Amino acid sequence: MVTLVIRASKSETLFDHMHELGTAFFCKVKDPDIYKVVYFSSNRQVFYEGPLTNEQLKTLREEHTEVTEIGYDKWKDELIIEE
């Protein structure tokens, strides 16, 4: 099975490729209002880091999980989510 991996540079691209069957985690990484978002579904992964509109942030808070940190272990090839 092919997996689509998107490293989005625009928040619109992130939201265009999210749907209700997937899971997203997000956290604020620095001021002013820069967020890191990772989204997973059975056949797609979307990664984004950058600003979000108030409406996008509201959608994430209502439908997905806010965490304190999203990290990556390049040696184990694992994403690490700290709640």
Quick: pLDDT tens for 14-67.
999 998 789 999 999 987 789 999 999 988 999 999 999 999 999 999 999 999
CB neighbour list of residue 61: distance below 8 Å, 6 or more residues apart: none
Q: Please give the model's pTM, rounded to 2 decimal places.
A: 0.90
Number of compact structural domains in the chain: 1
Question: How far apart are alpha carbons 52 and 16 in whole angstroms?
Answer: 14
- Domain range for 41 is 4-82
Which domain CATH number covers 44? 3.30.720
